[in-house]
Amino acid sequence: MRASVSDVMQPCPVFVSSHDLVTRARAVMRSSGFRTLPVIDGGRLEGIITARQIIRITSTRSNIPVAGIMFPPRLIATPASNLVELARDMVKLGISNVPVAQSYSDKTVIGLIRLDGILKKIAGGMKSKPTVGDIMTRNVVTCEQDDEISHAWSTMEQNRYSGLPVTRYDKQKHKLEVIGMVTRSDIIRSGTIRLAGESVKGGRPPTKVRSLMRTPAITATPSIPVAEAIELMLRRNVGRLPVVDDGNLVGIVSRSNVIRTACG
């Protein structure tokens, strides 16, 4: 895949300023589903703020400015940046979107590059015919519907996953069934992580995975072509597909698996 960032970059849809309160950044994340927001002042990139930082602030009314918790971006792209090299770095660092600046010296933000945009490029240029079974991850990290959301979130953060399959073991069939999916975007939009600490103090019961999981889960089979799996991810706006064979969970295929395969 020979391409530059200019081939797939898009306008930067959401951002905050360093003077905004963290509560505003939290609201933007909840409405957009973005887990990372660029911090832009006067058109210039000043930093990055992530959901991980925001959830540590449990008060619903906070006067903490974004400038107080933002940090320098780990990746910045320019229109001329090599798309393959950027994709590799994004997967390595677990980053799903990168701000595009005019140049490395001029930090004026002119767009955004997302993993979904890279996937579209890959799908259009894929010449070989690998199957999902060829590239999937076989050791799948899962959760159960009665797990607390705070536990599921911690598991995602520790493993840098965008979501987890929700499973149930059928003892009679000896199969691990996928009954749903819970994602970081779902949790951010719900606001349950921020309230987790306050729930304990206030005596409220913890939120369980069953209350947020999406059912039925969108799944793939080991035999379908990777190009078809990419199309399914893009059409349903998901980053990971549990791979099911005869009703049994056998793996998971993610945007990262696809990009590693296509970009080496």
List, in order of start, the domains of the chain with CATH numbers: 5-118 (3.10.580.10), 132-263 (3.10.580.10)
Query: What is the chain's percent helix, strand, coil content, to nearest 5?
Result: 40, 25, 35
Do 14 and 28 meet the contact criterion of CB atoms below 8 Å apart? yes
> In angstroms, how far is CA 75 from the centroid of its own chain?
16
Cα(73)–Cα(185) distance, integer angstroms: 20
What's the confidence (pLDDT) of residue 199? 47
pLDDT class of 195 with cuts at 50, 70, 90 = very low
Confidence of residue 26 (pLDDT cuts 50, 70, 90): confident
Q: Which of 83-97, 99-113, 193-207, 246-260 has the lowest mean pLDDT?
A: 193-207
pTM: 0.82
